[in-house]
Structure 1
Amino acid sequence: MKINEIIIVEGKDDTVAIKRAVDADTIETNGSAINAETLQRIVHAQQKRGVIVFTDPDYPGRRIRAIIEEHVPQAKHAFLAKEKTIAKNGKGLGIEHARDEDIREALQAVYTPVMHDRPIEITMDDLIDAGLVAHPQAKQRRTTIGNELQIGYTNGKQLQKRLYMFGISKEQFIKAVQALTQEEN
């Protein structure tokens, strides 16, 4: 599988895992120490070939993703569920621990942010009604919804933004919530 865009990863081990799974070029952010020079390389890569942000599903990975989103809002995103990135010995988390098939699947389900002027379809009330905010199991439910929609985990405040950014329709959202509800029952 050949990927035309340049994949943004956190470190060398992630690059090794990506190259093992697919034919692609990478830019490494060197963990959460992403600096202005690296950001400029990412901006340039976006202009030339496009980029896919593929960071670990943990706080540093989400932080890096947010920094890149701020500087390159049109960057594409690939996500892997946390449970697919846990090291075999249970002592580590990251893209470098993912199976090749899982990496390929995530890269086939890349999301492109939608630049639009449409109104927000999914309201905060919808998130509350779905038990994704202000609910005892909200965090777990957001994790499941993020995996189902392949948009990654977000906190309550960011979920609505990410649903909008990736153009998730109200219909897609409702189907995912229904699947979540059936799974829980």
Structure 2
Amino acid sequence: MKIKEIIVVEGRDDTTAIKRAVDADTIETNGSAIGQAVIEQIRLAQQTRGVIIFTDPDFPGEKIRKTITEQVEGCKHAFLAKNEARPKRGKGIGVEHASIMSIQQALEAVKEVMDEQPSQIFFDDLVRAGLVGGSHAKSRREKLGTLLKIGYTNGKQLQKRLQMFQIEREQFFHALDVILQEEHKHD
């Protein structure tokens, strides 16, 4: 699988994992304190070939994603679920621990930030679905992010992320049904 866009990752181990899974070029941010030189590199890559941001599913990874998105318009996004980014043994979380198949699936499901349009999913929908507040909210948001391939987000940011990737009501409620059916199987 050849990727036209340049994939932005956090470090050298992520580049190694990406290159095992697909034929692609990468830019490494080398941590969450992204320098202006790296931003300029990403901006040039976006203008010439396009960019896919593929950071770790953790706080520093989300910070990097947000920093780049704010400074470079039009980037695409690939997401891994946390359970796909954990090592078989030991601690940590990151793209470098993901299987070849997980990386390929994440890159096949790339999301593009769309021009802001009014959200089809309202905050009340999130509350009623138990995605904000309540004992199961965090795990439901994690599962929703995995099913919709939009990554994990906290309750405050969920509606914005759904809007950003223009997730339609039908998609949202279908994913929610899958989550609720899974929960009922385990009750």
Interval of TM-score (by shorter of Structure 1 and Structure 2): over 0.9
Query: Pairwise mapping of residues 135-146 of structure 1 onto structure 2 (< 5 A)?
Result: 135-146=134-145
Residue 112 in 1 paired to residue 117 in 2?
no
- Kindly indicate whether the alpha-carbon contact (under 8 Å) linking 2:119 and 2:166 is maintained by their aligned counterparts in 1: no
Aligned to 1:40: 40
When normalised by structure 2's length, the TM-score is: 0.96
> What is the CA–CA distance in structure 2 between the aligned matches of 1:178 and 1:39, rounded to whole Å?
40
Aligned to 1:88: 88
3-state SS, counterpart of residue 52 of structure 2:
strand
Aligned to 1:102: 102
List runs of 5+ in structure 1 lacking aligned partners.
none
Aligned to 2:64: 64
> What is the CA–CA distance in structure 1 between the aligned matches of 2:130 and 2:160, rounded to whole Å?
17
Of 82-91 and 9-18, the range deviating more from structure 2: 82-91
The Cα of 1:167 is off from its aligned counterpart by 1.0
The Cα of 1:73 is off from its aligned counterpart by 3.4
* C-alpha distance after superposition, 1:16-59 (max 9, x if no partner): 11011100000000011211111111111111110000000011
> What is the CA–CA distance in structure 2 between the aligned matches of 1:134 and 1:97, rounded to whole Å?
31
Query: Pairwise mapping of residues 101-180 of structure 1 onto structure 2 (< 5 A)?
Result: 101-116=101-116, 118-180=117-179
> What is the CA–CA distance in structure 2 between the aligned matches of 1:173 and 1:106, rounded to whole Å?
19
Aligned to 2:182: 183
3-state SS, counterpart of residue 27 of structure 1:
strand
Give the aligned length.
Answer: 184
> What is the CA–CA distance in structure 1 between the aligned matches of 2:28 and 2:80, rounded to whole Å?
17
The Cα of 1:90 is off from its aligned counterpart by 2.8
3-state SS, counterpart of residue 2 of structure 2:
coil
Pairwise CA RMSD = 0.9
Change (3 A) 1:63 1:146: same
Which one-letter code corresponds to 2:31 in the other structure? G
The Cα of 1:119 is off from its aligned counterpart by 1.7
The Cα of 1:134 is off from its aligned counterpart by 1.4
List runs of 5+ in structure 2 lacking aligned partners.
none
3-state SS, counterpart of residue 87 of structure 1:
coil
Residue 11 in 1 paired to residue 11 in 2?
yes
3-state SS, counterpart of residue 167 of structure 1:
coil
Of 107-116 and 141-150, the range deviating more from structure 2: 107-116
Which one-letter code corresponds to 1:161 in the other structure? K
> What is the CA–CA distance in structure 2 between the aligned matches of 1:138 and 1:73, rounded to whole Å?
31
When normalised by structure 1's length, the TM-score is: 0.97
Residue 51 in 1 paired to residue 51 in 2?
yes
Q: Percent identity?
A: 59
Of 15-24 and 31-40, the range deviating more from structure 2: 31-40
- Kindly indicate whether the alpha-carbon contact (under 8 Å) linking 2:10 and 2:28 is maintained by their aligned counterparts in 1: yes
3-state SS, counterpart of residue 8 of structure 1:
strand
Over 6 Å off, 4+ runs? none
